[in-house]
Amino acid sequence: MARMIVESVELAAQTGAPDALFELGMQYATGKDVNPDLVVAHKWFNLAAARGNHEARSHRVELAREMSAEQIAEAQRLARKWLQTH
């Protein structure tokens, strides 16, 4: 059931909907229904913020405080890669 929820949010995020992108960030940041992953969470918050979700901006900043420069760079690389395919 939890995987179905994640998959439905991922499908919504493929449309670039800021709220769906933000929700994915929250799932990966908190480990709700997925393994927690700060790099992936930062990626989704970054994409949501770029699409106008203001709450994602503050969450992205909070996460960045807990991440290394390399992790942040990886999250940004993943976000750029996602943008190339969506």
Residue 1 — pLDDT band, cuts 50, 70, 90? very low
Number of domains observed in the structure of the chain = 1
pLDDT for 17 equals 85
* pLDDT tens column, 27-57: 999 998 889 999 999 999 999 999 999 999 9
How do the residues of the chain divide into helix, strand and coil, expressed in percent and rounded to 5?
A: 80, 0, 20
Q: What is the pTM of this model?
A: 0.86
The residue segments making up the domain with residue 74 are 2-85
Q: Which of 77, 73, 43 is nearest to 60 (CA)?
A: 43
In one-letter notation, the amino acid at residue 74 is E
